[in-house]
Amino acid sequence: MRSTRGGLGVLLFSMVLLTGCSGQGGGSPAAPVPPRASAAGEGARAVATFTPKRAASPGELQETAGQLQKRAAALGMAGVQVEVSGGSITASAVGGTREQFAALAEQGQLGFRPVLALAPSGVGGSAPVQGAAPAAGPAAAFGALDCGDPAQRTDRQSAPEAEAVACSHAEQQGVWFKFVLGPVAVDGKDVSAARAVLDDRNGAGWQVDLSFDAAGAKAFADVTGRLAAQVPPGNEFAIVVDGAVVSHPYVASAITGGAAVISGSFTADEARKLAAQISNRLTVALTLTDTTTP
């Protein structure tokens, strides 16, 4: 399913700056989403089945089921029931849709990676490259990557300690972007909380406020301090979710305080979805294998 979470600036100076401020005082938390009415009448339930992408223990499946339940609540799904059945997980909801169930299954694996190089992709001809891809490693993959082809917008993050290539998450003005990224500098597991917030004070629209634990706060401050001294695009920090770049803001100075903001062209639903996935990262990756709707 194509996602439009977060906008990408076409020019470096149009990219959103990561800030060290939490949303406290600067925005309104996401209001509860009213339950969605069922097209087949009140009480009609949709059912979905999820299967793990790897062998998982009963304990891991139970933990993952709990994470799905929390995600569903954050997304405003009504009357959700999640159960482990054998080696799979079944979820049902009043008036649930396949799109909602698919959102529950997305891994929500977040990582912050330094940008080494980027270029427009899928525009034909020789696109200008900003930065330089390493002579070894992902250089060949970067040159061959065409993010204009939907089949190539896959998760290419093979290992957190390795450089990787990636596509942007959303098309802007008919252009996709491709990236060479450095190793993960801050892992999403060090995010202690994420929430969707409407920045009604500064007019920035919907965004996702992140709070880091102690380890994440230190790593984030250290790496942003290093990036701030680099020239573009080496001063940019790619926010990567499930292998795609949600945004790649530049860094002006070290960001301390243990908080950051992901902002872009989010709708309310997109911000809630991203916050729910980051807050409840799935222990076991899932595939949505079957959906029965009223």
What does the domain layout of the chain look like in residue ranges?
A: 12-29+110-266, 45-107+282-292
**For the domain 45-107+282-292, what is the CATH code?**
3.30.70.3400
Instruction: Indicate the pLDDT class of residue 23, thresholds 50, 70 and 90.
Output: very low
Max Cα distance, the chain (Å):
60
Where is average pLDDT lowest: 25-34, 117-126, 176-185, 222-231?
A: 25-34
Q: Let me know: does 122 contact 149? Beta carbons within 8 Å.
A: yes
pLDDT in tens, 135-180: 777 888 998 999 999 999 999 988 999 999 999 988 887 889 999 9
Helix (H, G, I), strand (E, B) or coil at 196: strand
Q: What is the pLDDT of residue 200?
A: 87
From residue 119, alpha-carbon distances to 10, 16, 57, 286 in Å are 10, 18, 42, 32
| pLDDT tens-digit readout, 40-61 | 345 789 999 999 999 999 999 9
Confidence check: pLDDT of 267 > 70: yes
Average pLDDT, integer, range 124-141: 80
Query: For the ranges 29-38, 81-90, 137-146, 231-240, which has the lowest average pLDDT?
Result: 29-38
pLDDT (0 to 100) of residue 158: 82
Both ends of the chain: CA-CA distance in Å?
21
Q: Are 17 and 184 in contact (CB under 8 A)?
A: no
Measured CA distances, 25 to 22, 51, 89, 200, 276 (Å): 8, 41, 39, 10, 21
Find, among 108, 36, 31, 95, the residue nearest to 67 by Cα: 108
Calculate mean pLDDT across residues 81-109. Answer: 93
Class of domain 12-29+110-266: alpha beta
Q: How confident is the model at residue 2 (pLDDT cuts 50, 70, 90)?
A: very low
pLDDT digits (tens, 9 = 90+) for 237-265: 999 999 999 989 999 999 999 999 888 77
pLDDT at 3: 34
pLDDT band at 127 (very low <50, low <70, confident <90, very high): confident
d(CA 30, CA 74): 9
Q: Do domains 12-29+110-266 and 45-107+282-292 have the same CATH topology?
A: no
Q: What is the pLDDT of residue 92?
A: 96
